[in-house]
Amino acid sequence: MHILVTGGAGYIGSHTVVSLIEEGHSVVVVDNLSNSQLSALDSVKKITGKDIPFYHVDVTVESELEKVFQAHSFDGLIHFAGLKAVGESVEKPLAYYYNNLVSTMVLAKLAQAYGVNRFVFSSSATVYGDNQVPFHEGLDLLPTTNPYGETKAMSERILSDAAKANPNFAVSILRYFNPVGAHESGLIGESPNGIPNNLMPFVTQVAKGKLKQLRVFGNDYDTVDGTGVRDYIHVVDLAEGHVAALNHLTEGAHIFNLGTGKGTSVLELVEAFEKANEIEVPYEIVDRRPGDIASCYAEASKAKKELGWTAKKGIVEMCRDSWKFEKNFQG
Ligand code: NAD
Ligand code: UDP
Could you tell me what percent of the chain has a pLDDT over 90? 95
Q: Which domains, and CATH codes, for the chain?
A: 2-182+232-260 (3.40.50.720)
DSSP, res 195: S
Contact residues of ligand 2, CB 6 A cut-off: 178, 197-199, 202, 214-217, 228, 230, 266, 289, 292, 296
Q: What is the pLDDT of residues 61-104, one digit of tens each?
A: 999 999 999 999 999 999 999 999 999 999 999 999 999 999 99
Residues 259 and 125 sit within 8 Å (Cβ to Cβ): yes
Q: Which of 280, 262, 275, 276 is nearest to 203 (CA)?
A: 280
pLDDT at residue 330 tops 90:
no
From the CA of 61, how far away is ligand 2's center (Å)? 33
pLDDT at residue 331 tops 70:
no
Q: What is the pLDDT of residues 36-68, one digit of tens each?
A: 999 999 999 999 999 999 999 999 999 999 999
pLDDT value at residue 102: 98
Q: Which residues contact 249 (CB under 8 A, 6 or more apart)?
A: 76, 118, 120, 170, 171, 172
pTM: predicted TM-score of the whole model, two decimal places? 0.98
Phi first, then psi: give them for residue 213, nearest 5 degrees. Answer: -155, 155
Task: Give the span between the Cα atoms of 280 and 291, in whole angstroms.
Answer: 29
pLDDT value at residue 192: 81
Q: What is the pLDDT of residues 193-233, one digit of tens each?
A: 889 999 999 999 999 999 999 999 999 999 999 999 999 99
pLDDT value at residue 193: 81
Our CA dihedral for 101, 174, 250, 183, rounded to 10 degrees, sits at 120
More confident residue, 326 or 143: 326
More confident residue, 195 or 115: 115
pLDDT value at residue 302: 98
From the CA of 133, how far away is ligand 1's center (Å)? 26
| Ligand 2 atom with the shortest distance to the CA of 221 | 15
Task: Give the span between the Cα atoms of 150 and 285, in whole angstroms.
Answer: 30
Determine the average pLDDT of the residues in 302-324.
98
Catalytic residues: 148
Contact residues of ligand 1, CB 6 A cut-off: 6-7, 9-13, 31-36, 58-60, 80-84, 99, 103, 122, 124, 176, 179
pLDDT value at residue 191: 85
Q: What is the pLDDT of residues 264-307, one digit of tens each?
A: 999 999 999 999 999 999 999 999 999 899 999 999 999 999 99
Average pLDDT, the chain: 97
Q: What is the pLDDT of residues 147-195, one digit of tens each?
A: 999 999 999 999 999 999 999 999 999 999 999 999 999 999 998 888 9
Query: What residue's CA is closest to ligand 1, atom 1?
Result: 10
Task: Give the span between the Cα atoms of 5 and 76, in whole angstroms.
Answer: 9
Query: What residue's CA is closest to ligand 1, atom 41?
Result: 179
